[in-house]
Amino acid sequence: MRILYIGNGQGFDGAVKYYFTPQKLINGLTRLGHNVVSINDRDIARYSNIFRSQKFGIKAMNHKILDMFKIYNPHLVMLGHCKNVSNDTLAAMREINPDIKITYRNVDPLHSTQNSADIMQRVGHVDSLFITTAGDSLARFSHPKTIVTFMPNPVDPALETERAYDNSEADIDFLFLASALRDQHDHRAITARYLVDHQGEMKFHIGGAGINNDLVFGSAYYALLGRAKMGLCMNKIESYYLYASGRMSQYMGSGVLAFIPEGPQFEDILGTDSFISFKTNDELVDKIKYYAAHESERKEIARTGCLKIHDYFHVDKVCQYILERTFQQPLSMAYQWPTKTY
């Protein structure tokens, strides 16, 4: 198929976050045999006016996307977080090609009022919604014209190439990187400060998380993962079933022993032999100290987690699932994640 991907992926700053979900989906769809053209709607909007403003470029951006749609005539349009692409533009696409399928994917947590509104914006206008939260919390987005279902944050073998558990020179005992939340309480900052205060003789690398600005992007990010023995996969919210940021797939897929709060219940998919769960900061620190002192156990769990997540959440499988649900085809395999649709 010809697939048009619209979202904040490849663009002027694409190399900075080349390992984010858009690139993974493009890679997976390509490996499945499809051709993908990617449009960065935000860049088009910014460079459509002299002020380099997204707001002032929205109208021109929508016209440009529709022009590209006419030229490319795709079989599928996949939308990322591109809320400035209007539903009128989607309707115009359907007028040009009544057989077009349109899908929307969203990787942000549902506790955000703005994010839930962004998802609701597409309900009834797209054929399918894929959200990185599972369970009945998705039912609110159900619509006669739109199915909604869960998708995991994918792992890409072209990107998650590090194997930290095999690195005899790994020199970071524990890693946590997270962008700070703007004008919001961030419980992760409390945990980050607690880790700093209790690291003792261990070497911790804490970047961002509301306590500093030491964030790392690009290839340097994966180089850092390759040096990390253990890492924290803590989200903006921990109470939604199977919700995780891309951090979990990146850490586990790179062979880092992942520490994950109990809330999302990932043991339902990955079992109890693939990561370390915890409830409190005290328990987190105690378990870090234990696995720092028991290297063979750490490596074995990290290896198991890496193998499982590469298998279960392989981006090619995620893309195949997106296509099968969007085109209402029978599922081609027994996917490891919940496949209920609403």
Q: Kindly report, residue by residue over 201-212, the tens digit of the pLDDT.
A: 999 999 998 889
User: Which domains does the chain carry?
Assistant: 2-154+314-326 (3.40.50.2000), 164-312 (3.40.50.2000)
Measured between its terminal Cα atoms, the distance across the chain in Å is 26
Residue 284 binned pLDDT confidence (cut-offs 50, 70, 90)? very high
Question: What is the C-alpha to C-alpha distance for residues 237 and 187, in angstroms, rounded to an integer?
Answer: 9
Residue type, 267: E
What is residue 303's predicted lDDT score, i.e. its pLDDT? 98
Q: Let me know: does 149 contact 138? Beta carbons within 8 Å.
A: yes
Residue pLDDT, tens place only, 57-113: 999 999 999 999 999 999 999 999 999 999 999 999 999 999 999 999 999 999 999
Residue 183 pLDDT more than 60?
Answer: no
What tokens appear for 286 in the block? 């105690």
| Predicted TM-score (pTM) of this structure | 0.96
- Residue 331 DSSP one-character state: P
Average model confidence (pLDDT) across the chain: 96
Phi and psi at residue 169, in whole multiples of 5°? -105, 10
Question: What is the C-alpha to C-alpha distance for residues 139 and 147, in angstroms, rounded to an integer?
Answer: 10
Edge-to-edge strand ranges of the sheet holding 204-208: 204-208, 172-178, 228-232, 257-261, 276-278
Write out the E strands in 99-244. Answer: 101-106, 128-131, 147-150, 172-178, 204-208, 228-232
Residue pLDDT, tens place only, 291-319: 999 999 999 999 999 999 999 999 999 99
Question: What is the C-alpha to C-alpha distance for residues 93 and 122, in angstroms, rounded to an integer?
Answer: 14
